[in-house]
Amino acid sequence: MIDAVRKGQNLRLVPSVDKVLNTPEIKEALNHTPRWLILKIVREALDEFRISVSQVRSGCHSQKGIGKKGSSGNLHITSSTTQEDALRMIINRALERNASIQTNSLRRVINGTGVIIHTNLGRAPLSPEAISLINEVAQGYSNLEYDLSEGKRGKRTSHVHGLVLRLTGAEDAFVVNNNAGAVLLALNSLAEGKEVIVSRGELVEIGGSFRIPDVMKKSGAIMREVGTTNRTHISDYENAVSENTGLLLKVHTSNYKITGFSSDVSLKDLVDLGSKCRIPVMMDLGSGNLTDISIFGLKGEPTIHEILSTGVNVVTFSGDKLLGGPQAGIILSQGGIDMSVVRINPLARALRIDKLTLAALEATLRLYQRNDYASSNPVMKMIGISIDDLKSRAQKCLSMFEEVNKGMMILSTREDESSVGGGALPSESLPTFVIVFKRGRISVEELDRAFRGSSPAVVGRIKDGAYILDLRTIMEDDIPLLINLYEKIVEYMGVQ
């Protein structure tokens, strides 16, 4: 039979496009998928089948059939394959591919990593209030740029402008789509063509390989580095000041720490120098923090109020980190900085915040205005949960996992460490309790893949040869769902 295949006999197995399209299963798919897309998918399935046949003809596969995990999937061509079998294989492949492309790529994930503000998992989860306002605004029209009291065109940032000023004490503010955009817009508006003096020890790289020097270059400002990586003195800034100096810039090194033989210039000293030389001072704060989180044992992350109290002229920070809101960039100003140059900058439109983000930001800020952030803001709730509560939660979860485990894994709990993440508090950690899965009848890697393939997906971490789920970042309401997902994995693995 293999000789016959090599002579091209199996090419007779390949059905026509029309024959596949006229099968009941494909006709049913056409009821809810455009014909052009189904046609494309069917042709791809036929091409894949032809490739598989060619591999058999060339002797690349044995008579036992092809279809190993990967390129050939379930296209198992053997000496006994019939035309009906071939048709069924192609139909199944087409239906599989159609189902795959119809599934949303961006989807919900249960975060078991212990990293609260996880950049790769969407950073800060939103509060119920923020989600509610997003839904309300998204379902119909809104007064995004319409002044209801005046009956004429309004400004979109007016919805949060007053809130930001009341909560921070700044004199003026502007909001854009993220903090990198805020830095770019502020530098371009205030220092294009002029020198911006910054310490070499603060030329940070943020997520996705974006670097402060690159942002400064795109802004049109001229970067003037001073000091060294580990030591910068106020005299370095003072000696670099010239007639072409437009700004003194300080960048909060929120995602790393330099220790040992090191020193930097305090923001207050830089502000004093700026005042003396009549040069504005700008601070890229990164992760904006409206509350004192030192009460949770976390140190080293200044509040926005502390930063503004130094007299700094411009501050930029994120909305989706410690603030606990959506991705946004907030620019604050004081000390006579003219923010109109920021508002009329053409870049402001390119970087403007959309209506759904604006809704989430307003709702998040109102939690702080009502002093309700500790109980409603998920980030603050995760930071603030006590180790005793986590231990109790872990013990309950362990019992629930053991009920459905069926000896598949070796389960236990232990104390571990969580982190804030999101480019904040790099040297600080929070004590936590975790569920530990050690190899039993399935491996740690198999469990990891199975959880990531679940719906919703579950992302944990592998440490010391064990799979770990950190209870600090798993929402309490998600625990029953998590147990149910594990039960399904156990059932599936048990029959393999």
Which DSSP category does 231 fall into?
A: B
Element (H, E) at 256: none
Dihedral pair phi/psi, residue 446, rounded to 5°? -65, -40
Reported in sequence order, the residue ranges of 202-351 that DSSP labels E, i.e. its strands, are: 205-206, 210-211, 222-226, 245-251, 281-287, 314-318, 329-333
Q: CB count, 10 Å around CB of 242?
A: 11
- How is residue 138 written in tokens? 């998204």
Q: CB count, 10 Å around CB of 269?
A: 15
Q: Determine the Cα–Cα distance for residues 414 and 194; give it in Å rounded to an integer.
A: 55
Which DSSP category does 311 fall into?
A: T
8 A C-beta contact, residue 194 and residue 242: no
Torsion angle of alpha carbons 33, 34, 37, 38, nearest 10°?
60
| Burial class of 293 by CB neighbour count within 10 A (0 to 12, 13 to 18, 19+) | buried
Number of H helices, E strands in the chain: 20, 18
8 A C-beta contact, residue 15 and residue 83: yes
Closest by CA position to 238, among listed 226, 252, 222, 250: 226
Q: Could you list the pLDDT tens digit for every one of the 496 residues in the chain? A: 344 444 445 667 889 999 999 999 999 999 999 999 999 999 999 998 888 877 766 655 443 333 333 334 456 676 677 888 889 999 999 999 999 898 889 999 999 999 999 989 999 999 999 999 999 999 999 999 999 999 999 999 999 999 999 999 999 999 999 999 999 999 999 999 999 999 988 787 766 566 788 888 899 999 999 988 788 899 999 999 999 999 999 998 765 566 666 678 899 999 999 999 999 999 999 888 898 888 888 877 889 999 999 999 999 999 999 999 999 999 999 999 999 999 999 999 999 999 999 999 999 999 999 998 888 999 999 999 999 999 999 999 999 999 999 989 999 999 999 999 877 676 678 999 999 999 989 899 999 999 999 999 999 999 999 999 999 999 999 999 999 999 999 998 876 5
8 A C-beta contact, residue 472 and residue 432: yes
8 A C-beta contact, residue 250 and residue 282: yes
Dihedral pair phi/psi, residue 290, rounded to 5°? -90, -10
Tokens 């061509």 label which residue?
77
Structural domains in the chain?
2-102 (no CATH), 109-117+383-494 (3.90.1150.180), 128-376 (3.40.640.10)
| Burial class of 61 by CB neighbour count within 10 A (0 to 12, 13 to 18, 19+) | buried
Closest by CA position to 236, among listed 202, 210, 212, 205: 202
Backbone Cα Rg of the chain: 29
- How is residue 422 written in tokens? 């999101």
Q: Determine the Cα–Cα distance for residues 323 and 429; give it in Å rounded to an integer.
A: 18
Element (H, E) at 162: helix 158-168
| Burial class of 22 by CB neighbour count within 10 A (0 to 12, 13 to 18, 19+) | exposed
Closest by CA position to 377, among listed 135, 165, 129: 129
Q: Is the whole-model pTM more than 0.95?
A: no
